[in-house]
Structure 1
Amino acid sequence: MPTAAEDLPAGEGRWPDPLAWLGVAAAERAAAGLHRTLRPRPSGQCDELDLASNDYLGLARDERVLAGAAAALAGWGAGATGSRLVTGTTELHAELEQALAGLTGAPAALVFSSGYLANLGAVTALAGPDCLIVSDAGNHASLIDACRLSRSPVVVVSHGDRDAAARALAQRREPRAMVVLEAVNSTDGDLLPLADWHALAVRFAALLVVDDAHGLGVRGAGRGAVAEAGIAAEPNVITTLTLSKALGSQGGAVVGSQAVIDQLIDRARSFIFDTGLNPAAAGAALAAVRIIAAEPALAASALVRAGELAAICGVPATDSAVVPVIIGQALPAFERSVALRERGVRVGCFRPPSVPPGTARLRLSARADLSDADLRRFCQTWQSVSPS
């Protein structure tokens, strides 16, 4: 008979304290400049200049977006009340999906409760053991986790290396293949040539999954980098989006063919087993989509401001609202970000594992609503903390 649990020898003295290693690990992170701290923002207006958020178009506090959230809250309540397949799909969700498909030029869309879950759902539901995944080394953590959870064989290629991707696809033994990449890299800010990547995917009969989180609202007059490349409606292209960056709300989405959306509804665990996006976030996102469609100049303004920020910092301009300033080691990067924050300017500080060792950086995020006064203030502050 199996031994009862209470009859097994006690672990006292046989094994170390199961939490003792946490203190050691925390001390090592702190010494390396890798300790993270939550810093709550105050509500309402404050004097801090925000160059850290992903609110690229300044819509998070736009009155029209707030009104969309308030109307949805009043009409549908605070929560979605259930998963999308039970009670969590409202008419508002359906309207948002139609609007997202229309904005991006894709046939259909499916809304998730976060961009992270949209990436998990798209990759895991469309890949599998019989599908080789070719993943760009610069991909966001959500795509990396999705590849791991997919149970697919995965080949990681250097960022933007189409030749390496072609070799992996040509040599595969699996009947199916998927190429996974970010349209705009979240830490470098560079824009990949998506039309060329699509041609590669077509050549080797592969799906192309593109995370357009940092392209939506900024590239293609706001319609996104995939739409700008002219491939949004291609049957082998699947685009993932976030509603929490340029749209100023919360949530995520996948856009693609109706066959792809049907597969996700049936097979994407991060969709099936998750509570639906709350109505207020859906209402805010819908209002933002309509603003972007009606005001394409917002996207151009964000790119102009990004170029101005890059010039102030003495770094090359990118093709996005992301402006990276490479510092190198984690501790100096963190110290520079603290110095800026103490002077009223908040910037992102990206350290390993978010970026490779030796490439710690400050990440500035441009916004369409930055004023000339904001730029002058940043220029003065930047000069005051920069090494002479």
Structure 2
Amino acid sequence: MHMPFALNQIDAELAIIDRELLRRSIRSVDTPCGTEIQIGGKPLLAFCSNDYLGLANHPKLIAALSEGARRFGTGSGASHLISGHHAIHDELEAKLASTQAGAIPNARALFFSTGYLANISAITALSLIGKSKTSIYSAALNHASLIDGVRLARGQGSVDLHIFDHHHLAGLEDKLRNDLTPFKLIVTDGVFSMDGDLAPVQELLHLANQYDALLMIDDAHGFGVLGKHGYGILEDQEVCSDRIIYMGTLGKAAGLNGAFVCAHEKIIAWLIQKARPYIYSTASSPALAFAVLRSVSLIEGELGQELRARLHSNIALWKEGSIFIRWNRLKSDTAIQPIVVGSNATALQLARALDQLGYWIPAIRPPTVPKEMARLRMTLSAAHTKEQIQGLCKVLSDLETSLPK
């Protein structure tokens, strides 16, 4: 019996991936999320988690999730528009809307299972506004979920796509100035997930106002971390507009799972009608919604302020101690601190060496980042100690000297 064509083709294409050192693999963690973990019984210091405030294993959230399950059960039972939307979802969405009320007039929030789902839901639904052509302006380094949302939008209607560099907005303004399309949407990360820098939100909002566009911001890596109360990049950059669609993730700094889209109440009403991934997905567990509600209260309260202060202190300590000659530590003031080393081979070699020394920082390679821009995407947490950060700085300095070029 001959092997199916598909399996033969998969073998051939996986061989190419192997030759280019791009094969991805899964590593299973034995312990709860934290800075000190175990993989296969081996202890490692993790500098790769998005648990920026160290809340993913916090006793108060463990208790909240348990209490939520006791009070509301474990599953929702259906999609939000059938019977899966519970009163605790309403309470959570009202709380999430309140976090952005200072930046978005008449704000309303919608709770999603994941940030990926939230982004593709919002973009595909927004592209259906009106009967004419839509122009979408997407930042070149946007997250894959935004890119895929745009791809899906282009597949369902008449969409013109324009890519822009968030470091140089003159090109974006030139395109907007000459765009006669009635509906325009600018889409950007808030904190860029692979570089760690911030989008120029004030400047982007100015362009959106000037050329009558909506501005969608994926603040997956900003919510909980940026701003006085941890409300994210809109609070941090002090903007306010009914043109903004804000997406915040609850599986990173918030320490749990899920995401939300917050916008003017009319936009949220439109998403409920037109966002197919939202309409046809089973609603998230009400127990999870209860725990997220507790997490948001922690983030905006005294504990959240203490954790953000500790995180920013750790970022400053890392930047002071991480000085490289051959490698390029990208300029970032956020918890994401990438070290660009160039080739896939170098990135893999460095990640393996760190693993042997007790550190877990995976190599990030194309297509996640551009070719010849392979890197270690190092992330810091409020839970890291001064000694752990200083130890990593010393190890990396030694490896830069000892590893072959």
Q: TM-score, normalised by structure 1?
A: 0.92
Give per-residue Cα distances to partners, 1:107-136, cap 9 Å, x unaligned: 211001100010011111111462200110
Per-residue displacement from partner, 1:25-66 (whole Å, max 9, x unpaired)?
112111221111100000246432111010000000111111
Whole-Å separation in 1 of the counterparts to 2:55 and 2:172: 37
1:52 is matched with 48
Q: Within the alignment, does 1:282 sit opposite 2:289 as a pair?
A: yes
Which of 170, 173, 184 is 2:180 aligned to? 173
Does residue 125 (structure 1) correspond to residue 125 (structure 2)? The answer is yes
User: Which sections of structure 2, spanning at least 5 residues, go unmatched?
Assistant: 324-328
What does residue 332 of structure 1 align with? 346
Partner residue in 2 for 1:382: 396
Matched, 1:22 2:30: no
Matches within 5 A, 1:57-76: 57-76=53-72
Task: List alignment gaps of at least 5 residues for structure 1.
Answer: 1-11
CA-based RMSD of the aligned residues comes to 1.9
**What is the aligned partner in structure 1 of residue 210 from structure 2?**
203
Bigger shift: residues 338-347 or 209-218: 338-347
Q: Distance in 1 between matches of 2:145 and 2:92?
A: 23
Q: Provide the secondary structure at the position in 1 that maps to 2:216.
A: strand
* Equivalent residues of 1:313, 1:325 under 8 A apart: no
Tell me the secondary structure at the aligned position of residue 132 of structure 1: strand
Does the CA-based 8 Å contact 2:318-2:390 persist in structure 1?
no
Give the distance between the partners of 2:366 and 2:90, measured in 1 at CA: 39
1:218 corresponds to which residue? 225
Residue identity in the other structure for 1:373? E
User: Contact between 2:330 and 2:339, CA under 8 Å: does it hold in 1?
Assistant: no
Partner of 2:140: 137
Looking at structure 2, the residues matched to 284 and 374 of structure 1 have their Cα atoms a distance apart, in angstroms, of 30
Q: CA deviation at 1:16?
A: 7.6
Q: Take 1:160 and 1:239, find their aligned partners in 2: how far apart are those partners?
A: 20
Which of 288, 308, 315 is residue 317 of structure 2 equivalent to?
308
User: In structure 2, how many angstroms separate the alpha carbons of the residues matched to 1:168 and 1:135?
Assistant: 12
Q: Aligned in 2, Cα 1:24/1:81: closer, same or farther, shift over 3 Å?
A: same
- Distance in 1 (alpha carbons) for counterparts of 2:17 and 2:246: 36
SS of residue paired to 1:386: helix
Equivalent residues of 1:69, 1:279 under 8 A apart: no
CA distance in 2: counterparts of 1:342 and 1:236, whole angstroms: 49
Q: Does 1:154 align with 2:142?
A: no
CA contact (8 A) 1:69 1:281 kept: yes
- CA distance in 2 between counterparts of 1:19 and 1:324 reads 37
Give 3-state SS (helix, strand or coil) of 2:251's partner.
Answer: coil
Deviation at 1:83, TM superposition (A): 0.6
Q: Matches of 1:370 and 1:172 in 2, distance apart?
A: 48
Whole-Å separation in 1 of the counterparts to 2:306 and 2:331:
19
Quote the offset at 1:71 in angstroms. Answer: 1.1
Could you tell me which amino acid in structure 1 is paired with residue 114 of structure 2? S
Structure 1 residue 384: Cα displacement: 4.2
Which range moved further: 49-58 or 75-84?
75-84
Deviates more, 1:154-163 or 1:356-365: 154-163
Question: Corresponding residue for 1:9?
Answer: none
Query: How many residues matched?
Result: 375
In structure 1, the partner of 2:370 is 356
- The superposition leaves residues 122-166 of structure 1 with CA deviations (integer Å, 9 ceiling, x where unpaired) of 111111462200110000000001111112211111243311111
Which amino acid in 1 is paired with 2:251? Answer: S
**Distance change >3 Å, CA 41–CA 91, structure 1 → 2:** same
Q: In structure 2, which of residues 199, 203, 219 is the aligned counterpart of residue 192 of structure 1? A: 199
Q: CA deviation at 1:366?
A: 0.8
Q: Greater shift after overlay, 378-387 or 336-345?
A: 378-387
Q: Comparing 146-155 with 16-25, which one deviates more in the overlay?
A: 16-25
- 1:344 maps to which residue? 358
Letter in structure 1 aligned against 2:391: R
